[in-house]
């Protein structure tokens, strides 16, 4: 399922503005300033798993509240966000994602709220195609360790055909080290 997530901070002024506009009441002048206090909003259009990951971990999130960022700085942050998103998607096994990041302005005004729109098509997830566990040291040299080696190989938690994720890889390695 594809999900669009709009990340923004509205506060009480934003709630009041939305309420006033919904019932047709003109908002006071102070409310317009408060509602646009956010430097920019982030709109993420991606499958659920990817949208959740980017919403939670994309470094761009921590700059949303800054209102004094220049267009050049926002351009730089967008480039960094592209690299950051690519690395984050790799942790889910998506190594060839199609990511587009575009900055949009809601109106012609220079002070208008900016939206950074991130569209992600993760592509095909990487699956494990082959598993080979090699042993070195005492465990590799002694016949008495053969059953332990066999157990490690048969209980490997990242089997052929399974989607590769960083969490699964870490979990599989830790399990073998415990054994």
DSSP-assigned beta bridge partners for residue 114:
40, 105
- List pLDDT tens digits, range 58-79: 999 999 999 999 999 999 999 9
Best CA proximity match to 61, nearest among 77, 37, 83, 79: 77
pLDDT in tens, the chain (179 residues): 554 444 443 343 343 334 433 444 444 433 333 334 578 999 999 999 999 999 999 999 999 999 999 999 999 999 999 999 999 999 999 999 999 999 987 665 555 678 999 999 999 999 999 999 999 998 888 888 999 999 999 999 999 999 999 999 999 999 999 98
Residue 33 Cα to chain centre, angstroms? 30
- Structural contact between residues 130 and 163, judged by C-beta atoms closer than 8 angstroms: no
Summary mean pLDDT of the chain: 82
Structure tokens at 155: 């209980």
What is the edge-to-edge ordering of all strands in the sheet holding 2-7? 2-7, 40-47, 114-121, 98-105
Residue with tokens 């009441």: 25
């Amino acid at each position: 399922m594809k999900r669009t997530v709009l990340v923004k901070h509205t506060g009480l002024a934003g709630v009041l503005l939305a309420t006033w506009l919904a019932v047709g009441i003109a908002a006071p002048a102070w409310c317009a300033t408060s509602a646009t206090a956010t430097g920019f909003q982030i709109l993420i259009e991606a499958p659920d798993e990817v949208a959740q990951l980017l919403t939670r971990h994309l470094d761009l999130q921590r700059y949303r509240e800054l209102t004094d960022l220049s267009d050049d700085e926002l351009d730089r942050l967008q480039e960094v966000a592209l690299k950051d998103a690519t690395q984050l998607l790799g942790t889910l096994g998506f190594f060839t994602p199609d990511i587009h990041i575009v900055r949009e302005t809601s109106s012609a005004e220079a002070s208008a709220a900016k939206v950074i729109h991130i569209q992600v098509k993760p592509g095909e997830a990487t699956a494990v195609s082959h598993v080979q566990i090699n042993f070195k040291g005492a465990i590799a040299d002694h016949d008495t360790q053969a059953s332990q080696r066999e157990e490690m190989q048969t209980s490997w938690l990242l089997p052929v055909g399974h989607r590769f994720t960083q969490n699964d890889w870490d979990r599989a390695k830790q399990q073998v080290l415990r054994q």
